[in-house]
């Protein structure tokens, strides 16, 4: 069963400023992404489990939540983390993954058929070796080389 997840760009917080006694309120507009999740029958995935993954760390959920009754979910990506944001939506044993390219903070990612995302899978971290592993490797090298040399040396000088 296929699901369709449609991202669109919204403006949050539109409205008029309000003043009250001793309080100063204001507003600003912030780009946000709306995800629309539905089954291929057209039925919205209402109250479905949503997990958002940021481009820099695909193994850790950046945000979790739930779709509304219409299968919609909104989030505001961290503008400092450009790249492919991924949104996983699951419900009752069915699930899908949506990739949303965010290349500049103000980029419009509207559209029913988003272009293939320019996902930059984070480069694997350099193989950082622990001090104990480094020590073990060095000892193994020395031990192995010396031991092998001694072995052949003994063979060479052994009485026949």
Partner 1 sequence: MFVFWGSILIFGLMAPVWAATGQLHIEANGEDFIRQGFVSKDGWALEFSQVKLHFTQVSALQTDPPFNPDQGGSPTIKQRVDLPGGVVDLKGAEPVLLGTVTGAPPGFYNALSWQLTPTPELGGASLLLVGTATKGNVRLPFQIKVDQGYRVLCGEYIGEERRGILQPGGTARLEATFHFDHLFGDGEQDANDSLNQEALGFAPLAALAEGGRLEVTYSQVHKQLSPADAEKLSQALQGLAHTGEGHCRVEVLE
- List the one residue from 65, 79, 111, 144 that touches partner 1 (CB under 8 A): 144
Q: Which residues contact 41 (CB under 8 A, 6 or more apart)?
A: 1
The beta strand positions in the chain, using DSSP E, are 3-12, 19-20, 23-24, 30-39, 49-53, 61-66, 72-75, 83-91, 94-102
Distances 45 to 99, 105, 109 between C-alpha atoms, Å: 18, 28, 22
63, 99 Cβ separation under 8 angstroms: no
Query: Which is closer to partner 1, CB of 4 or CB of 8?
Result: 4
Task: Determine the 3-state secondary structure of 56 from DSSP.
Answer: coil
Closest CA to 30 of 80, 105, 85: 105
CB of 44 to partner 1, least distance (A): 14
CB of 18 to partner 1, least distance (A): 42
Q: Which stretch binds partner 1 (CB under 8 A): 19-27, 29-37, 69-77, 144-152?
A: 144-152
Quote the Cα angle for 37-31-99, to 5°: 40
Number of residues interacting with partner 1: please give it, by CB under 8 A. Answer: 45
Contact positions with partner 1 (CB under 8 A) in 12-71: 39-41, 53, 58-59
Contact positions with partner 1 (CB under 8 A) in 70-109: 84, 86, 88, 90, 93-97, 99
CB of 86 to partner 1, least distance (A): 7
CB of 131 to partner 1, least distance (A): 13
Rule CB under 8 A: which residues touch partner 1?
Answer: 1-2, 39-41, 53, 58-59, 84, 86, 88, 90, 93-97, 99, 116-122, 124-129, 133, 136-141, 143-145, 147-148, 150-151
């Amino acid at each position: 069963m296929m699901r369709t997840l449609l991202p669109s760009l919204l403006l949050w917080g539109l409205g008029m400023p309000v003043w009250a006694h001793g309080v100063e309120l204001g507003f600003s507009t912030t780009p946000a992404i709306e995800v629309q999740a539905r089954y291929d029958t057209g039925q919205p995935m209402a109250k479905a489990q949503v997990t958002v993954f940021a481009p820099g760390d695909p193994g850790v959920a950046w945000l979790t939540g739930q779709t509304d009754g219409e299968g919609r979910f909104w989030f505001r990506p961290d503008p400092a983390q450009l790249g492919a944001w991924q949104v996983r939506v699951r419900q009752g044993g069915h699930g899908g993954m949506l990739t949303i390219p965010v290349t500049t903070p103000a980029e419009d990612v509207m559209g029913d058929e988003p272009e293939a995302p320019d996902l930059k899978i984070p480069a694997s971290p350099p193989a950082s070796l622990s001090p104990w592993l480094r020590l073990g490797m060095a000892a193994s090298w020395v031990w192995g080389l010396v031991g092998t040399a001694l072995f052949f040396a003994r063979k060479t000088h052994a009485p026949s």
